[in-house]
Structure 1
Amino acid sequence: MPDTTFLLFSASVALLFLASINKAFIHHELDAIPIVGHSGLLSYWTALQVIFTGGGPALIQQGYQQYPEGCFRIARLGHWLVIVSGPKHVKEFGDAPEHVLSFRGGIENTLAVSQVVGRTIAENTYHSTTIRGSLTKNLQASFDGVKEEVEAAFDDILDLPDTEWKTLKMLDSITAVVARVSNRVFVGLPLCRDQTYLDNSIQFAIDVIVSGQIIGFFPHSIRPLISRFVTSRNKSISTALKVLGPVIEERLAKADELGADWEGKPNDFISWLLEDAIGEERTVHNLVLRVLSTNFAALHTTSMMFTHAIFDLMTRPELMQPFREEAERVVAEEDWTKNTVNNMVKIDSFLRETQRLRTMAPIAMLRKVVSKDGFRFSDGKFLPEGTFTCIAAHSMHYDPSFRDNAAEFDAFRFVREREAFEAARNPGGQDMFKRQMISTTADHLPWGIGKHACPGRFFATMELKTMLAHVVTHYDIEPEVPGMRPNDNVFGLSTTPNMWAKVRFRKRAVPKL
């Protein structure tokens, strides 16, 4: 007799099949939007191909070429995904309010946030306000700790001999570094170096992505049941309560006894969360969950971004010297400060170019239409209530109509653009700043755009630039296979740097900055 797991799997597959047929044949409001891939019953086959064959990016590029500046749809399991392109549409997309185009609805459908992270986080995202506000305002004050932790983390995690090359599994090593550097700001010393705490935070971040995608394949009605089998959320929270819980409990107790601004209060993310937490959010359990969730956002994107940057740099050794010269020059002029990092414009341009070409997915800005009146673009294109929609970000980034030689990696592309705007238009004006890594524009979408643009991008940029400046001034790097950049991993509509790829590191025989 089949066991419970097999019965559950069989029932779920049947439900998915019925759901996909329902969407394919009944959702007539989308009839005016062209389909790329199969339609009708075969739309289910397209959805499976997108998931399991790595064909999603090519399918979206096909649609983009057929319908530039327009929209099209592809089949997903149980629903259609409408993909939009063109800067005008992107801006209207980003400007739409949450009660019309829902960011939360889009993320929930894909990553099942309420099942993986918890309904509390999914429904009340006040920590995003803390990130956008207090974290960003305190970047200058946090910089010395970030720089110190960058140095210590690379020394400890790379653990290099004095003069010999060492081969390292890159994504794992960088994730470990980012976990320490980020948590220097999130929870401070000594917890940011506690291995139990760090391992648990990293595992939680991995679990959110892996289990969230798995649960996201299933209909909403059975997701709570599926989550019991595929997520280790409760284990992660339990571990975090043991190692982080006492720290938060002490902070709450001191705030109650001495007031919100008690003498000696650490200037870290825990304190900033406490300033914004109200009612039931001022509990150890809920605050631990906020810190875990913030770790997920910080570790996942920053680690992958920096790993991509290392892969791009090691296969372009000619870039090492100009980056070293820039870092050494600005540090000699101002020592290590946040402003010093801001002035590393070549490193900034390189990271922005890596970000442009190494998107985490062929799409961005996933949304769900939640208004009963649907959503209508200014050119008349209409998306009915319940539609899942997004932007063809990768295709737009590679589109030569937006920038010259768009498919080529050009490390100093944005340096030249900034210089051109500075010279020709308004020195020090807004156009120049649109070419910085922190900037969001309608033709550069890694951070999103509009109301839901990544709130942590200012911290992430400071962290990434500090890390890269440290790497180029302290190490030599080269690929494990000479001249070869590791192929990215593609699963469904997610693209990640090769998680098994290795890079060779060696200490530079020069004094430290």
Structure 2
Amino acid sequence: MDDLRFLILYGVLAGAVLASFRKAFHDRKLDTIPVIGSSGFLSSYWDAFKFFHHAPDLIQRGYDQYPEGIFRVARLFRWDYVVCGPKLIKDIAGAPENVISFTAGLEETLQPNFTVGRAITKNLYHHHVIRTTLTRNLHACFPEVRDEIVCAFNDVLQLQGSDWKTLPVLPTTMAIVARVSNRLFVGLPLCRNKAYLANNVRHTIDVVRTARKISLFPSFLWPLIGPLISTKNKTNARALPFLGPLIEERLSKERELGPDWPGKPNDYISWLLDLAEGDERAALPLTVRILAANMAAIHTSSAAFTYALFDLTTYPEYLLPMREEAERVVKEEGWTKAALNSMVKVDSFLRESQRINTNGPVGMRRRVVAKDGFRFSNGTVLPYGAYLSVALRPTHYDESNYEKAATFDGFRFARERAEHLANHNHNDNQDIFKRHMISTAVDHMPFGTGKHACPGRFFAATELKAMMAHLVINYDVQAEVDGVQPANEVFNARATPSATRKVRFRKRQ
């Protein structure tokens, strides 16, 4: 019994048995919610195992049968509920956090208590910083972002003359995004420190991998398994020598000269210090917040730009029109944040890439936390503790939402914006705004929608559009194998771009 491995194995087996009974004898009122697959005691477990690698097919099948309803799918230790249709999605989007919780929904997908730290989930003041202060400063900080994009592409790609160079896309984009994001987070010179950046990229990968492993166990074992396999303490220890002195210097300046001391950097560290209180005003807690921001930025923006590069090399006919647009706008308006708003084709291409390349078959994961459950507008009630999500990929591929929905149409949204302007008053910007990359809706949810729409989407869109414009102006790109779209890596309810697929780069001649 002193053998830890035996205890863990015993706990897993006991958990599986207990979870089996819990799932077999669940609330019979939920039997009215249809099952995709089987509800049998053993057969549902077979469906749960199939879900690991066939989740997109199962979710699509459910959506086809219940396009405006709710269905359930078997998971190893429970049922998951999948919501379809704009009416029910709006119910989720508008629900209070104390009824269906965004934070509790993250428990399984990212396991933040163990991969990042409990302080992050207990106090979300960094969300306010990202949603307000960071977003307001995008115009002022754009010259620094632009400068880092230029330097990062040069340093990471390391192209010579007119020769083509084949590079793995995801690691390459992660390196670039890490540098560009950290120019805004911590500034020069730290944003170019290779060891510091490597730790941030490693942390991003570790969070995703560790969360996957923890989620393979029943939830009552998470507090045991999580600390055993978490790498967050090691990550924090590696980050502190870089961030600790910088943070201590800022705190010292505040104590000596006040919160608005002369020469105070306009970056994420300063914005955090403006709101941090009590124990949060120390090197380690602020380091944890900076690592969390890195993880979110690197994970999401790297995947989005990787998908966009795959789409650009699969459909190369879009490169020249975007290049022409970007060169014209830069000539007329310069490299400014405002100029990006005029790059309608670049914006449309990225928005369409996000629509086609979802990060899994489901999104907007939530957990019911109200003791009396959550009632949808159609009368369906999900009980306390139930996990739910929306059918993300099927919604994006629904012909009733998008014409030729399964076909990549890079300028789909640019064309819609032009048609709207031609048919409506030019001062009517409300509908046209719905077609921007940053816009969320019940039929377009890369950034979610409603109360918990991604607070960092304005920075992400600025970063991605500036990177794409820089790329098409200064580089040629080709697929490693012409006409072949790399397959995504699918596991459970998550999909990620291939980490090994490559693209050829060349300096534009």
Report TM bin, short chain: over 0.9
> Any unmatched runs of 5+ in structure 2?
none
Which position in structure 2 is the counterpart of 1:443?
Answer: 443
Q: Distance in 2 between matches of 1:260 and 1:459?
A: 25
Deviation at 1:13, TM superposition (A): 3.7
Range with greater deviation from structure 2 (298-307 or 32-41): 32-41
Q: Residue 67 of structure 1 corresponds to which residue in structure 2?
A: 66
User: Over aligned residue pairs, what C-alpha RMSD do you find?
Assistant: 1.4
Partner of 2:224: 225
Matches within 5 A, 1:64-463: 64-428=63-427, 429-463=429-463
1:367 partner SS: strand
Q: Cα offset for 1:9?
A: 3.1
Q: What is the identity, as a one-letter code, of the residue corresponding to 1:278? A: E
In structure 2, the residue matched to 1:476 is 476
Q: 1:27 to 1:113 in 2, by over 3 A?
A: farther
Q: Distance in 2 between matches of 1:134 and 1:222?
A: 38
Equivalent-residue separation in structure 2 for 1:469 and 1:222 (angstroms): 47
SS at match of 2:476: strand
* 1:373 Cα deviation from its structure 2 partner: 2.1
State the TM-score, normalizing by the size of structure 2: 0.97
Output the CA distance in 1 between the equivalents of 2:256 and 2:182.
Answer: 26
Deviations 1:268-292 (A, max 9, x none): 0000000011111111110000000
2: distance between equivalents of 1:224 and 1:85?
Answer: 33
Q: CA deviation at 1:2?
A: 10
Deviation at 1:219, TM superposition (A): 2.6
Structure 1 gaps, min length 5: none
**Whole-Å separation in 2 of the counterparts to 1:242 and 1:185:** 19
**What is the aligned residue count?**
507
2:47 maps to: 46
CA contact (8 A) 1:112 1:212 kept: yes
Query: Counterpart amino acid of 2:26?
Result: I
Identical-pair percentage: 53
Amino acid in the other structure paired with 1:45: W
**CA offsets 1:36-87 (integer angstroms, 9 cap, x no match):** 1221322222112212xx1001000000001111110001121111000111
CA deviation string 1:348-394 (max 9, x = no partner): 00000000010001101001111122111222122121111110010
SS across alignment from 2:32: coil
- Aligned amino acid, residue 160 of structure 1: L
Contact 2:114 2:227 in 1 (8 A): no
Q: C-alpha distance in 2, partners of 1:261/1:233? A: 32
- Structure 2 CA distance, aligned partners of 1:426 and 1:38? 53
Mapped partners of 2:314, 2:374: distance in 1? 45
Pair 1:21-2:24 in alignment: no
TM-superposed deviation, 1:480? 1.1
Shift of the alpha carbon at 1:116? 1.3
Instruction: Name the CA distance, whole Å, in 1 between partners of 2:396 and 2:178.
Output: 29
How far has the Cα of 1:23 moved from its partner? 2.1
AA at the equivalent of 1:190: P
Q: Is the 8 A contact 2:108 2:211 kept in 1?
A: no
Using the alignment, how far apart are the partners of 2:84 and 2:384 within structure 1?
20
Amino acid at match of 2:469: A
State whether residues 21 and 40 of structure 1, in contact with CA within 8 Å, keep that contact through their aligned partners in structure 2: no
Cα distance change of structure 1 residues 9 and 481 upon mapping to structure 2, 3 Å threshold: farther
Name the SS of the counterpart of 2:172 in structure 1: helix
CA contact (8 A) 1:25 1:40 kept: no
8 Å contact 2:98–2:369 — kept in the other structure? yes
Q: In the aligned structure 2, how far is the partner of 1:283 from the partner of 1:336? A: 37
Q: Which residue of 2 aligns with 1:497?
A: 497
Contact 1:475 1:507 in 2 (8 A): yes
Deviation sequence 1:18-50 (CA, Å, 0-9, x none): 213312322323211111122132222211221
Q: By how many angstroms is 1:3 displaced?
A: 5.3
**Residues 1:308 and 1:2: Cα distance change in structure 2 (over 3 Å):** farther
**8 Å CA contact 2:11, 2:221 repeated in 1:** no
Instruction: Tell me, yes or no, if the aligned pair for 1:21 and 1:78 is still in contact at 8 Å.
Output: no
Secondary structure of 1:255's counterpart equals: helix
1:7 shift after superposition:
4.4
